Amino acid sequence: MGRKDGLVGLASNVDLPPPDISVANAIQYYGKVGFSALETVVLLGGHTVGVTHCSVIKDRLYNYKGTQSADPDLDAFYVFFLGNIICHNDPNAVDMFVFLDSPDSVLTVDNSYYKMLLAHKGILPIDNAIAFDPSTSGYVNDLANNNDYFLDLFGKTIVKMGLIGVLIGNQGEIRQVCSRTN
């Protein structure tokens, strides 16, 4: 069970989408590896756990698209909360982490991420974008309304993602220490 590790690990080989990727490009990005638009939205539900950092979202809090003010799509209380408590507008401040889901649910895999998006509390630009783009907002609504539906689809989609580029035969290895090759 599980996936084997590669024999080479280079930052230059890592292909990760940027946080401000457009919805159309995100759908295209996951489409290339076999996912539908719905599955792309379901995969982003991975943000039901984990964190980002102030450096990633500072523009949304303090200088959205060069306006010297916050992203008007971000809930005003959240802007106040994140700005005053966590992400200070000071280049010397420690780059604090910010929960991607609501603080009371960030340790639980559930559909609260989608509820946060609909409440204009999506943290990353792409999180917010999927909630209000006409091509994905219906999916976000459905997922926000039904936790069982989310859990079922999320499980299936994560398993499908685990089947991308599987190393077989003598490709790769099972590492003795996960941070380096054997």
Of 118-147, binders to ligand HEM (CB under 6 A) are: 124, 126
The piece of 46-54, 75-83, 135-143, 145-153 that touches ligand HEM (CB under 6 A) is: 46-54
* Residue 40 counted as an annotated binding residue: no
Cα gap 100→113, rounded to integer Å: 8
Rg (alpha carbons) of the chain, rounded to whole number: 18
DSSP category for residue 177: B
**Residue 96 lies near ligand HEM (rule: CB under 6 A):** no
Q: Which of 9, 34, 50, 138 binds ligand HEM (CB under 6 A)?
A: 50
Q: Which of 37, 39, 47, 120 binds ligand HEM (CB under 6 A)?
A: 47
Cα gap 127→116, rounded to integer Å: 9
What DSSP assignment string belongs to 132-153?
HSTTTHHHHHHHHH-HHHHHHH
Strand partners of residue 4 = none
Q: Which residues are annotated as a binding site for heme b?
A: 47
Site residues (vs ligand HEM, CB under 6 A): 17, 19, 21, 26, 43-44, 46-47, 49-53, 56, 124, 126
